[in-house]
Structure 1
Amino acid sequence: MIDAPEVEREAPSDALVALARACKVSVEYYAIDGTQVQCSAAAIRAALTAMGLDASSDPACERSLAALEDQEWLRLVPPVTVVVEGETRELPVHVIDGEPAEVALRLESGEVRDMEQLDRWVPPRDVGAQTFGRATFEVPGDLPLGWHLVEAETTGRRARGYVVVTPAQVTVPSEVREHRPWGLTVQLYSLRSERSWGIGDLSDLADLCALGKARGEADFVLINPLHATEPVPPITNSPYLPTSKRYMSPLYIRVEDIAEVAYLPSQQRALLAWEAERPQRTNDTDEQLDRNAIWRLKSAALEEVFRAPRSAGREALFEQFCIREGSALEDFATWCAIAEAHRGLPWPAELESPTSPAVAAWRDEHADRVLYHAWLQWICEEQLASAQATADRAGMSIGVMIDLAVGVHPEGADAWSYQRVLAQGMSMGAPPDFYNALGQSWSIPPWQPRALEAAAYLPFRDMVRAAVRNAGALRIDHVLGMFRQWWVPEGHTPVDGAYVYVDHEALIGIIALEAERAGAIVIGEDLGTVEPWVREYLHGRGILGTSIAWFERHDDGAPRVPEDYRADTLAAVTTHDLPPTGAYLAGEHVRLRDELGMLGEGSVEDAQAEAERERQAFIDIMLERGWILGDYNEEDLIAGLHRWVLSSPAMLTGVAITDAVGERRAQNMPGTDTEYPNWCMPITDGNGVPVLLDDLFEHPRVRRLFRAIKSSRG
């Protein structure tokens, strides 16, 4: 391991340690090489401050710890209690000592149940000038799945909380378990068709689902996150740094497929066709995607369609969408309209909070623009739902597999709307490891655990619910973040952070509940250093893991043979954060990392030699098993590696379209920003020739790979 920079670490005091442990903030952690590292007192204090606690001195820590202990007694009922179906749970209800407590449970169905008070005596507690007592009630074990309301009352006080009943396991359909389907993986923006506006869109997704099933018997399509981007240029290229995870990017709308386009006057339809021609001319080039130019043209066309009258029925559907989404959509659309008006310039201070009177006044003054941005989200949802419906009609057993990013842009819509439940001044990241001796800071604000619990996890629930509403499966990027998160304080290097442990049972339970209700399966991206108990817990909740062939190795670096892979996973040869397999086999990833100065202190010759050893180790096993013959070429190796993962017991197998066509350019080079054109590469084949969706399944390389897949599956 390359030595990381030394950080001056003031040892945390006993008072600071006690407060940190009460809030599940680490005071030490184990590094990738097994050594124990102490977190600095400054990083610990910053994390606690971001949780709304005063940790500035030892007396302040002691007062904050006492206040934490008192807070539980000041609440009539907990804001949320998350249980597994069939589980009973004791529910504490706090009242002025000697006062009565009445508690009822209102189920989602509207049924009201009285809750049984248990014979539990707990010593009362003095909080300030008052003495509080605890009455203990039982959450019954026969509750149905769902979000049920606890309604409590005592003298002069009423309060509500949620009891969330979650499934023990996410159901995986028997068809999926028995047939262990395979599917296609693609960065949707990179796969264009003749009708695309220079970028792959939701109509392309629908066609890919239909073609994938009809031509290759694929049962799912895993795509990049479709999360919302900025409403005006400059637009962030990375789909993993969105402005909102609850809402979608209108860049993926196919304008011509909006119902109202058919009823536009002929002159306006001709104008739309003319506006589409310019971005469509780039579809069959290998030029980097220009989201800013594409959005300028597409947004102008969408403005025209928005102004077109909608039928009474269509208007009613739009109204229903707005009512269902409620204040969250109103806030998001308001943020988009304000950001659009200011176009990158600083906002007035009075607009910095979504609940301020100035924001309400601004919304009223710009109601049409707010409505426009809400309408865009309605169209996005319609077209995504259509893609999933197409997958269902085509016979896919899963359909669209949506990717959920780790976090959001620190200056985006979610950061503005949910600022009360995000940890201000913090960025999620990772401590130093073998791949990055400096650690990582991803510039994304984490959920603030205490505030999120106080909000009954509703913002988290709504985000997950939106993700699975029109999908057959959900992939969660960096699922370890549902257990612990590396918080890097603003102004600190990524080396100087602390782990914050979150309530994984609540978060995973809510994911399981929303996925179960939507009929979606769940895959967690659990690559890297993951403690065994985490994988066991996810397995127990019915959440699949991830296996990438290049990462499946023994401690000595030898490849893990496929029969030793985990069964409860989505297995693939590569992923979007790695070079396409053709480039990997040719060692081009080493040359590229050398050009970008990412090899560290080792020589390029040593890195090339190591890459060749890795490659040869796979080849030797494939030759031994007859998956390739002695006179192999690149296509044979790619087909052999897919036979490798297909012969594993993995429940699902993903095949990257970049591998199918022989693409050599990486979509993303982790650790780079402007040094490499991340997320901007359209799909080309091994000769650099653009491959459109219209021709994809007739491409000779694709057809040969599909034949190899079919023979592997019998």
Structure 2
Amino acid sequence: MLTGYTDHYGVAQQVRATTLVAVLEALGVPASTPQAVEGSLERSRDDVWRTVLPPTVVARHGVEQQVSVHVPEGAPFDAWVELEPADGALSPTATPWRVTAAGTLHGERERRALARADVPAETRTVDSRTLERAVVTLPEDLPLGWHTLHARCDSLEARATLVVTPQRLELPPEVAGRQAWGFLVQLYSVRSRDSWGLGDLADLADLAWLTAHNGGADFVAVNPLHASEPVVPLTPSPYLPVSRRFLSPLYIRVEDIRETAYLSAADRSLVEWAAEPVRELSTDPGPIDRDAVWEAKRAALEVVFTAPRSASRQTALDEFVLEQGRGLVDFATWCAIAEHLNGRNWPPELADPTSPAVGVLRRSLAERVQFFIWLQWVADEQLKAAQRIGREAGMRIGLVKDLAVGVHPEGADAWAQAAVLARGVSVGAPPDMYNQQGQNWSQPPWNPGALARAGYAPYRDMLRTVLRHTGALRVDHVLGLFRLWWIPGGARASAGAYVTYDHEALIGILCLEAHRAGAIIIGEDLGTFDPWVREYLASRGILGTSVLLFERSDDGTPRDPSSFRHLALATVTTHDLPPTAGYLAGEHVDLRERLGLLTADPQVLRAKARAERESLVDALSRRGLTTFDPSERELVEGLHRYLKDTPAALVGVHLTDAVGERRAQNQPGTDTEYPNWKVPLADSAGAVVMLEELFDNARLRSLVAVMNEAPHPEDLPGPGG
């Protein structure tokens, strides 16, 4: 934990003593009295000696590394590594599904003996025993993967998780040589005539095909598709899911499930009746009604769930269940119990997924558990189809998924992973220029020590599922893998402290799982951070995020395009600001003033916004990208031409900018005061834009033409970026 930090304005800030105590207590470190502090310090000095091996060791491929082993003084010991099976091990929390008549195949595990390093041994007396710290060497040729580190001394044998990670991720060859561009969309807002009032996975597949085939786009980046509550009311924010690992069935297209086509006439009528009340919502310009959509879809999905499946379909479902393992069963159990309780408080006996009371309910609600498992399989199949369709249409990347920072404090992940989450605190961000009161995202953070003791298994399993069927993954607030702003319960968002994480472990595991999935990683690295963080991420091959509106030189003018990073996704704006047209009209100031979110003089902020616009116009006009008095459309297109002149590997175009939308999708610092995450896609006049009409929109066609203009040779990145 850090006792101070440098804020967004470069000013050193000290953390209050009361905050430090509260955060330490959340970490499981008593600190409320001087005696408690002294006792905690003493325990922390000895705890590492009490374990034979560290709980988890994360190494880099090709680098020799040393590991400490604690044994009784002078006692001989053996140490070795048991390698992950060459055929690719499933998660330890998953049930292997490869079976033969002889039983389950786990794969052969190679064993490598470890040599003791020529390092002087240290000794310490702990709990009346004299212990020795020996050192063994991990060879540099250990393969990538999840291995097990062993040490045996007399009758005592210890084991630890050993993860060997890539030095860095490399861009796929088809992306490395030429800048790729694509659309950034809030999927729920992009609706078609066949939608049930909310953009879904079939719409995503169609959007990928349309933008690739008609627009030459290389990717479609979407908001987090994480799971929401199984019963209404649903949390609107895609960044506050009940689970980050699993998908929201809200995005399922009922008609695209194979079994729907074979329903009886009576059952088919039930599906149609469920759709009728919400299908007309697709053209409604008002806030998106997730609750109505889910009530309708759940009724229809329950009908389809009861339909018989072919042998191949049933086998595919069974294999999906066995591959996802205990995590899927726990998630589905939570959904079934939450549905059963229907808003009532969870009794204490249901707080532990392994409790007898949960076991009893899991059995009594077995059919509902199976229903929620089936929903995940259906959603996974439809997401897979969307990625396939995008790639077949010519996209070099396909789908870009989004990983939220955390989860709902009362959701499925918080329930199933309580042992590795900190309680009594929530995650947020300190004050900055756009959120002057700070932000509280109400999410429980990982407990760094508990996560390491769990071998990072919850983190790994989540990444493996999230990285399915995607060409790239955007990690929201990637700085949280280095440090997170912890806010004690009941405190203001500004009254928090930074807790540090083992970034070498978290980033390394992210790189390993992305390497195995063949996915690009994009880190959203905006906000308050130390400069070395971006350098570290780049050294691991993780792309950053460059937002043109934030990229300023020391004198406040827009940075020259040539100075942008190559390893980055470059965009004009973000989803936490109004679309570009609205932002440049100062609507971000007007909106925050109406909502009472400003701590500075509104007139001063408006003058600053006008100056910002003028500096952008000046920078664009000097490069011949606009006139000195550009129209709104000309200015938006000029800003995207500016991005194309950067060496950024990826350039993103917000779909809202392409159709002329002016309303923000989200206003940080608000809840019910603004329709966050409920704004349907509309044009500059406020008219709803349907998926089928996208390429009828003149502004979109014009901006797409801009994105497909051939770059000047001098604008191309040189070898190595």
The two structures have a TM-score, normalised by structure 2, of 0.93
Which whole-Å CA distance do the structure 2 matches of 1:699 and 1:546 have between them? 28
SS in 2 for 1:668: coil
* Cα distance, 1:467 vs structure 2: 1.4
Equivalent AA in structure 1 for residue 657 of structure 2 = D
Report the secondary structure of 2:157's partner residue: strand
Measure, in 1, the Cα distance between the counterparts of 2:397 and 2:686: 32
Measured after TM superposition, the shift of residue 622 of structure 1 is 1.8
The yes-or-no answer on 1:197 pairing with 2:173 is no
Give the match for residue 32 of structure 1.
8
Q: After superposing the two structures, state which structure 1 stretch, 615-624 or 370-379, moved more.
A: 615-624
Matches within 5 A, 1:597-676: 597-603=596-602, 605-629=603-627, 632-676=630-674
Alignment of 1:165-314 (within 5 A): 165-314=164-313
8 Å contact kept, 2:305–2:374: yes
Greater CA drift, 231-240 or 484-493? 484-493
CA deviation after TM superposition for structure 1 residue 528, in Å: 2.4
What CA distance in whole angstroms lies between the structure 2 residues aligned with 1:94 and 1:626? 67
CA distance in 2, matches of 1:63, 1:41: 18
**Residue number in structure 2 paired with 1:685:** 683
Q: Please give the per-residue CA displacement for 1:551-601, whole angstroms capped at 9, x wherever unaligned.
A: 111233222122221221100111111101121233333322222223334
For 1:157-556, list aligned pairs within 5 A.
157-556=156-555
Distance 1:184 1:430 in 2: 27
2:72, 2:129 within 8 Å by CA — same for their partners in 1?
Answer: yes
Q: Distance in 1 between matches of 2:445 and 2:321?
A: 28
- Mean alpha-carbon deviation: is it higher for 149-158 or for 451-460? 149-158
Quote the Cα distance in structure 2 between the aligned partners of 1:431 and 1:574. Answer: 21
Partner SS, residue 537 of structure 1: helix
Counterpart of 1:103? 79
Give SS of 1:151's match: strand
d(CA) in 2 for partners of 1:58, 1:520: 49
Number of residue pairs aligned between Structure 1 and Structure 2? 689
What percentage of aligned pairs have identical amino acids?
52
Higher mean C-alpha displacement, 248-257 vs 560-569: 560-569
> Is the CA contact (8 Å cut-off) linking 2:403 and 2:476 kept in structure 1?
yes
Q: Give the CA deviation at 1:695.
A: 1.5
Q: Give deviations 1:494-513, integer Å, cap 9, x for gaps.
A: 23222111111110101111
Distance 1:117 1:51 in 2: 34
Counterpart residue number, 2:27: 51
Q: Match of 2:568?
A: 569
- CA RMSD across the alignment: 1.6
1:32-57 alpha-carbon deviations (Å, 9 max, x no partner) = 34443322222112222112222222
Amino acid at match of 1:60: A
Report if the CA contact (8 A) 1:147-1:165 is conserved: yes
- Alpha-carbon distance change, 428 to 692 in structure 1, aligned in 2, over 3 angstroms: same
Which residue is equivalent to 1:18?
none
- 1:678 is paired with a residue of what secondary structure? coil
Unaligned runs of 5+ in 2: 86-108, 713-721
1:340 to partner: Cα distance: 0.7
Is the 8 Å Cα contact of residues 647 and 712 (structure 1) preserved in structure 2?
no
User: Contact (CA 8 Å) 1:101, 1:135: kept in 2 or not?
Assistant: no
Show the counterpart of 1:116: 115
In the TM superposition, residue 373 of structure 1 has moved relative to its aligned partner by 0.9
**Aligned partners of 1:646 and 1:712 also within 8 Å:** no
Instruction: Supply the AA of the counterpart residue of 2:63.
Output: E
Shift of 1:31: 3.1
1:652-676 Cα deviation digits (max 9, x unpaired): 0001111111011110111111110
CA distance in 2, matches of 1:217, 1:396: 8
Tell me which moved more, 383-392 or 247-256: 383-392
Separation in structure 2 between the aligned mates of residue 459 and residue 198 of structure 1, nearest angstrom: 34
When structure 1 is superposed on structure 2, of 192-201 and 127-136 the one drifting more is: 127-136
- 2:164 is paired with a residue whose SS is strand
Q: What residue identity is the alignment partner of 2:596?
A: G
Q: Is the contact made by 1:51 and 1:451 (CA closer than 8 Å) also made in structure 2?
A: no
Deviation at 1:435, TM superposition (A): 3.4
Q: Residues 151-204 of structure 1: CA distance to partner in whole angstroms, max 9, x if unpaired?
A: 222223222212111111112112212111100100011001111111111111
Give the deviation of 1:120 after TM superposition: 2.9
How far does residue 698 in structure 1 lie from its aligned partner after superposition?
Answer: 2.5
Question: Does the 8 Å CA contact 2:387/2:470 hold for their aligned counterparts?
Answer: yes
Equivalents in 2 of 1:104, 1:531: separation in Å? 38
Deviation at 1:541, TM superposition (A): 0.3
Contact 2:186 2:222 in 1 (8 A): yes
Counterpart amino acid of residue 177 in structure 1: A
Work out the CA distance in 1 between the residues paired with 2:447 and 2:524: 22
SS of alignment partner, residue 294 of structure 2: helix
The superposition leaves residues 212-233 of structure 1 with CA deviations (integer Å, 9 ceiling, x where unpaired) of: 1111110011100001111100
Amino acid at match of 1:369: R
The verdict on how the C-alpha distance between 1:621 and 1:495 changes in structure 2, with shifts beyond 3 A counting, is closer
Residue 558, structure 1, aligned to residue 557, structure 2: yes
More moved, 197-206 vs 278-287: 278-287
How far apart in 2 are the matches of 1:261 and 1:308? 8
Q: Which moved more, 1:471-480 or 1:629-638?
A: 629-638
Aligned partner of 1:710 in structure 2 is 708
Which stretch of the first structure deviates more once superposed, 368-377 or 618-627? 618-627
Aligned partners of 1:437 and 1:599: how far apart in 2? 7
Report the CA distance between 1:706 and its aligned residue: 1.3
2:619 alignment partner AA? I
Task: Give the whole-Å Cα distance in 2 for the aligned partners of 1:29 and 1:530.
Answer: 9
- Per the TM alignment, residue 611 of structure 1 is displaced from its structure 2 partner at its CA by 1.7
2:121, 2:354 → 1: CA distance? Answer: 40
Whether contact under 8 Å (2:575, 2:666) holds in the other structure is yes
**Per-residue CA shift, 1:633-653, capped at 9, x if unaligned?**
221111111111111111100
1:631 Cα deviation from its structure 2 partner:
6.3
**How far is 1:270 from its partner?**
2.9
Q: CA–CA distance in 2 between the matches of 1:687 and 1:461?
A: 45
Distance 2:319 2:384 in 1: 16
Kindly state the Cα deviation for residue 438 of structure 1 after the two structures are TM-superposed. Answer: 3.0
Q: Which residue of 1 aligns with 2:98?
A: none
